[in-house]
Structure 1
Amino acid sequence: MTVQLVRDGLAADIALQRTESVPTFDVAVLDIGLPGIDGFEVVRRLRARGGAMPVLLLTARDAVEDRVRGLETGADDYLVKPFATAELVARIRALARRHAPPSSVLSLGRLSLDSATRRARIGEGAIELSVREWGVLEYLLQHAGRVVSKQQILDAILPWGDDVTLNAVEVYVSRLRLKLDGADVAIRTIRGFGYLLEAAA
């Protein structure tokens, strides 16, 4: 699993708004006792915007009223502290499976990415990608045939303000070009605009 951490309720609300416009993550795990606005309010705002991302609430409160309030606000699951890490992981996986889209495979040419299993293939052969290489390639595949800017790519793979420059995107694209040899796809640089993923001529 790839995890992004935010420190308070307002940052969580902003992060969820950004991932609604550029789908990035599968599940939100929220502590109820967040500084600023609490977890209940973060969930309420998410659902008021029509956001469908599954939410798991964590809390030290074990009162039935708190659990009922969390679920009625729009949370999908509720876990009381202390808990075993294995149970947390199992609940996250269950939520992700329940809300997964019908097809998780993106493909172009001989290249295919399965976002459910996190496997990348060229034909029948597997290729190894770092987390950020995966994010860049997945975003390019989702927008195949369209030009996307470095900033759009950066916002998609690091949506919550990680300290990474636009030049890093060039590095990831350069690595991907080497790894995609034989995939019958090309990542073209459109000078002044960004990148275009398309089937090789």
Structure 2
Amino acid sequence: MNTTRLLTFVTLGLVSLTLIFAITGIASTSWLKISLKPLSSFELGLFKRCVIDTVCINDHQTTSAILSIFGLLFIILGFTSLLSLILFTSTFKPIFYLVPIFLLFLAALFIICGVIAFWPNLVEKSIKQYFIVARSSLAELEMPIPEEYRNIVNDILTNFKIKNGYSQNLMIITYVFLYIGSLMTAFAAGGIILSGSAYLNFNT
């Protein structure tokens, strides 16, 4: 088995994994886990928000969802192009082997942008700022605030925690695998284009 063939099959396997990870990550509801003690904790996905162990409601994260779905589409196209190049080697000219590189690169770009749009630190900062502003506004208005409510707000600010759920971790792994896959395809395609040989030579 030559190097080109080996790189191609390894890349195809990697892209297959990214396809599974991306579908699972997009469809599941555990992108972020947010703890609002003493209030309920909940998980946030691209399409739903779930109070842990109880109920889920529709809550679309439009920007991240669109970016992630575009990333998934490019993964599917990249997988299809790689598979086509393997099955129909003699049909394509060497220059066509740049197509999966381009598709995998676009997939990685959209996936990581979707993750960044959902970044936990930004959510944490926004929610904390919301409580701080609300507490300051009430104080400026000199509104009487029951001690129990004041304690609840303080507890939330003190105990508020947010972390990545498994869905977002899968998307990060997807990005890493896509990046590696595009590099491996680039190495294989570079040798093919320079030599002008077929993409896969099963006779060597």
Q: Same fold (TM over 0.5)?
A: no
Give the structure-2-normalised TM-score: 0.24
Give the structure-1-normalised TM-score: 0.24
The structure with the largest helix share of the pair is 2
- Select the structure of larger CA radius of gyration: 2
The structure with the largest strand share of the pair is 1
